[in-house]
Each structure stands twice: as C-alpha cells, then as structure tokens.
Amino acid sequence: MSSACTIRRARLDELPRLTEIEIDAFATLAAALGVAHEAHALAREVLRGSLNAGLLLVAADEGDQPVGFLAAEEVDDALYIIELDVCREWQRKGVGRQLISAAIALARTRQLSSLTLTTDRHVPFNAPFYASLGFVLPGSEAMPQFLRKKLEHEVSVGMDAERRAAMVLTL
C-alpha cells in the first residue's frame, strides 16, 4: 500500500465513510487513554454543516477513497477544527499533517487570522502533535471567547478539565 494521499473537499455521499473513519480512529485514542468507552461520532448534521461551508476535507487514497478527514467551521476570525481523524491503517504516515496543511491554506484563502482547536493535552498524537505544527496553548487572557466556551462545554458533558486544552495557530 502506498502512503500517498490526495487532499480534497469531501462529497456528500462520503459522509457515512467519514463516520466509519472517526469510529475506527477512536480505537487508537481509547487505547492511549486506557479507556473502554464506546466510540461515538460527530452528528451527521455537523459534517453536513462543514461540507456546506466548504470546510470538510478528506485525505483520499489512490483509489479516491477517504482514509482521513478534517471537519472545521469558521468562528469569528478563526478556522475552528471540529474533528481530525485518520483510519488506523493510515495513521503515522503524515496524513494528519497533510490535512492540517490544507486547513492552513484554506484559512489563508479565507483571510482568517488563526486555526483553533480543543484536544487532549497528554495523548502524544493530540496536543504534542499540534504543538509540533506550531499550535500553542494560549494564556487565559489571549484565549478567544468562543474557544473558552467550547472548552467549558466539553467539560460540562463529562470530559476531564485537567486533560482538555485549547490550542491556537496564528497565521
């Protein structure tokens, strides 16, 4: 299997495949966290919203089948990354980096000032991965209000406040 991927905008008929990718990728996260939680995926409406906004990217293999995706939304002057997942067989091959690079280009095209996200601060392929791409943990005074609200929401639905982190990449 070649590790070459093409990054492109997702198509409506691919939404079920993106859900499969997210559920498959969750197994890696669950193992890293040492949890046995049942996988859950983004609501189809969230994926459709990103698709309609032109902010749903896929990494496609040589057969043009999605193996990873990045869903985003534009909030204020930022591109907020809702979800980034790569199926297990394609992980650790640079697919996530390719998706982030494409998101940076998309944000620049839209003349946005930054990329933002929330993630786990300890799992190596979460916050440390994003830090390797230039994302930083903003101080509380520098954190955009919408990002603070996203973190608060995640904690309110049961995520561990000590593990959650907001990150920003200024363009």
Virtual torsion, Cα 99, 58, 70, 14, nearest 10 deg: -170
- Domain layout of the chain by residue ranges: 6-170
Residue type for position 112: L
Give CA angle at 68 (165, 93), nearest 5°. 85
Confirm if 92 and 64 have CB atoms less than 8 A apart.
no
Tens-digit pLDDT profile for residues 47-90: 999 999 999 999 999 999 999 999 999 999 999 999 999 999 99
Tens-digit pLDDT string for the chain (171 aa): 456 899 999 999 999 999 999 999 888 776 766 655 666 789 999 999 999 999 999 999 999 999 999 999 999 999 999 999 999 999 999 999 999 999 999 999 999 999 999 998 888 778 999 999 999 999 888 899 999 999 999 999 988 899 899 999 999
Residue type for position 28: T
Fold held by 6-170: Aminopeptidase (3.40.630)
One-character DSSP codes across 23-47? HHHHHHHHHHHT--PPP----HHHH
